[in-house]
A and B are shown apart, each in its own frame.
Chain A
Amino acid sequence: MDKFRMIFQFLQSNQESFMNGICGIMALASAQMYSAFDFNCPCLPHYNLAYGLGILLVPPFILFLLGFVLNNNVSMLAEEWRRPRGQRGKDPAVLRYMFCSMAQRAMVAPVVWVSVTLLDGKCITCAFCTSVPVETLGNASHSGLSQGEMKRVLARIPCKEIYDGQEFIANEVAVRYLRCISQALGWCFVLLMTLLAFLVRSLRPCFTQAAFLKSRYWSHYIDIERKLFDETCAEHARSFAKVCIQQFFEGMNTDLAAARCHPPRKAPDDVGETAEKLLGITDQGTMNVALKSWHRCKPPLHLHPPALPSGNGWAGEKQPPAHPPTPRREMAAYYSRV
């Protein structure tokens, strides 16, 4: 567990490392998904192309979108793009930098899927088996079949058990041919992608280094500012809730005391912390009333200024007010996202 925590801390400490980690995980998941996927060519003339190309192109598109969804910075980019100008100018270079870095990371898993698919060969074999050059690889001249029937026969190439065109073109020959083409395409695709990545990475320092440093700094700044703001708001919400609940209990206590016609109980100074934490509720009946009141009628989201406590929750312990403040009661409970 320590090991994982250390690795996790290392990745989290550097935001970019974390994103790279997610990107790597998605690439591995993409390769694993392909090997787990049960490819079933339909072996019918018009369906083969649709199925083969669909399996080749639709999952990468989904993985690309997933790459954006899993990236926390997407909402940050959208927020920065759409916010009103206000007192702070907007820098399009920063937005471009954020979008490019997200897009680059999201591209990795689709590229891995397409490469693995092409290198495996099943998709291309399924999609293009009706286009095999029978004249060069086999003997088409001997057959008396029409074009359509020939296509139907060729469409069954990926399904060895039902293939019946052995005399026109041997199944192994056709499969080897198609797989060779598919693997050649796959390796060329891999080479092209690595060349592109290399050019993007190496041309940047040669041309736009100063602008890059600026954009990177401000995009980190926006991210950190958002996180700090959320943390500060969470602290505020915590204090707000604490004070609100303390005031609720005080109000409860005061009400009960007023109902029983004796002054509110004050904890004697020498009893200590435990008595203070009891907030004046020391019997079952009072506690039940307090719980019922909390459920039926939550207090309003409005703290009483004179009653802001000095630390241990008792209003009026140091400077007792003339009258205990009556809390406002509202009939309808409402929820607010603070």
Chain B
Amino acid sequence: MDRFRMIFQYFQSNSESITNGICGLLALASVKMYTCFDFSCPCLPGYNMAYGLGIMFIPPIALFLCGLILNRQSVVMLEEWRRPQGHRKKDLAVIRYMCSSIMQRAMVAPVVWIVVTLLDGKCLICAFSSSVDPEKFVGFANASPLQVQQLLAKVPCKDDELMRNNTSRKAVSRYLRCWSQALGWSILLILIIAAFLARWLRPCFNQATLLQARHWSNYIDIEQKIFEETCCEHSRLFAHKCILHFFESMQQEIKLHSFSLPREGEGAEGEEDLLWGITDQDQVNKFLKMWYYEKPPLDVSQVTQR
């Protein structure tokens, strides 16, 4: 339990770690969504390309937007960008730093989707089966162009009656899958090399500016969190004072109206504080009705000036 609590506290203390965590979760969700998704190519001449490329590119856009939405820092950055200058100057380097770090994190899940799609191969086979050169494959070389289009469009569907035991279908499918996987691995390699270079070469350029930008972006984030917490604390105290004031005013009203209640003994003070002089069913009912019909004004200046 201690270990878990330590991990939890570590993540909470550093908001960058939280955003990294969210980014990782979104990447895992992206893979899971792809495996759960039931890909079924329409195997019709005009529709294949639209379906294949649509499945490859539309979910990444949605995942990118999700990555921006779920990241708290994007709102902080926008607020910092749009705020009036006031007494505090705006530093564009900080805003640029925040923007780039948000974009980098939001790009992870879409890239994971595209790479998984390419490595799996179904999308590209579906999209480009009609664009393959039929001369290369024995089964399709001797058919009329229209028939060739129809047959090629049905290549992604293994269970179709025309394609069930067609060896040329398997050849086309393997050819396209090979291209798809090559593309997938190449993209992965390029991205990893780019990330590696960016991380290695960054200290060589403008390290001081980077440290400043990172410090101030953390500062803005923390300042906003503390402001929200302080507001919550303040509203709690405000509510407490307001309610106390209301109870006291009820107590005074009761004292004014009931002259026949001698207050004997200092010992009665203990419970009296908790009872506020409300000792009767009718008094309680009246008190609750007054709370509903006439909430006290939002003004505790008299209470605090005592």
What is the interface of chain A, defined by CB distance below 8 A to chain B?
2-3, 6, 10, 83-84, 86-88, 119-121, 137, 170, 172-173, 176-177, 179-180, 183-184, 187-188, 190-191, 194-195, 197-198, 201-202, 204-206, 209, 217, 220-221, 224-225, 228-229, 232-233, 235-236, 238-240, 242-243, 300-303, 305-306, 308-311, 318-319, 336, 338
Contacts and interface: CB of A to CB of B under 8 A. Distances in A.
A222 B236 CA distance: 10
B186 to A, nearest CB: 26
A235 B61 CA distance: 54
A220 B237 CA distance: 12
Interface string B23-45: 00000000000000110111110
A319 B262 CA distance: 14
B271 A228 contact: no
B265 A319 contact: yes
Nearest to B267: A310
Contacts of B267: 309-311, 318
A199 to B, nearest CB: 9
A137 B44 CA distance: 8
A319 B66 CA distance: 72
B68 interface: yes
Nearest to A246: B271
A176 B297 contact: no
A88 B268 CA distance: 34
B161 A121 contact: no
27 contacts: A6-B4, A6-B8, A83-B293, A84-B292, A86-B293, A87-B297, A88-B297, A119-B37, A119-B38, A121-B40, A170-B161, A176-B157, A183-B51, A190-B58, A190-B59, A190-B62, A194-B66, A195-B65, A202-B78, A209-B79, A209-B83, A224-B235, A235-B274, A300-B281, A303-B275, A309-B267, A309-B271
B291 A239 contact: no
Contacts of A301: 280-281, 284
Interface of B: 1, 4-5, 8, 37-38, 40-44, 47, 50-51, 54-55, 58-59, 61-62, 65-66, 68-69, 74-75, 78-79, 81-83, 157, 159-161, 231-232, 235-236, 238-240, 242-243, 247, 261-265, 267-268, 270-272, 274-276, 278-281, 284-285, 288, 291-298
A306 B267 CA distance: 11
B276 A236 contact: yes
Contacts of A198: 65, 68-69
A209 B58 CA distance: 32
Contacts of A308: 268, 271-272, 275, 279
B41 A84 contact: no
B62 A172 contact: no
A205 B78 contact: yes
Contacts of B59: 187, 190
Contacts of B40: 121, 176, 179-180, 183
A194 B60 CA distance: 11
A236 B274 contact: yes
B62 A194 contact: yes
Contact of A305 (B55, B157, B279): B279
A92 B60 CA distance: 39
B42 A220 contact: no
Contact of B295 (A83, A243, A319): A83
Contacts of B47: 177, 180
Nearest to B161: A170
B1 A225 contact: no
Given A120-B38, A188-B58, 8 more contacts: A88-B295, A88-B296, A172-B157, A179-B38, A220-B232, A224-B236, A236-B275, A239-B274
B44 A302 contact: no
Contact of B242 (A86, A180, A205, A225): A225
Which 7 interchain pairs have the tightest Cβ spacing? A310-B267, A86-B294, A301-B281, A180-B42, A225-B239, A303-B279, A239-B274
A327 B122 CA distance: 87
Nearest to A188: B58
B275 A240 contact: yes
A2 B6 CA distance: 13
A315 to B, nearest CB: 10
B247 A86 contact: no
A176 B42 contact: yes
B231 A228 contact: no
A277 B100 CA distance: 70
Nearest to B233: A224
A154 B62 CA distance: 35
A228 B44 contact: no
A176 B43 contact: yes
Contacts of B238: 221
A225 B47 CA distance: 59
A148 B292 CA distance: 64
B38 A240 contact: no
Contacts of B265: 310, 318-319
Contact of B293 (A84, A137, A204): A84
Contacts of B270: 310-311
A243 B274 CA distance: 11
Contacts of A300: 281
Max chain B CB contacts within 10 Å: which of A84, A206, A301? A301
A190 to B, nearest CB: 5
A85 to B, nearest CB: 9
Contacts of B44: 137, 173, 176-177, 180
A84 B69 contact: no
Given A83-B292, A88-B298, A303-B279, A310 B268 contact: yes
Contacts of B284: 236, 240, 301, 338
Nearest to B126: A180
Nearest to B244: A232
B1 A3 contact: yes
Contact of B42 (A177, A188, A221, A236): A177
A184 B51 contact: yes
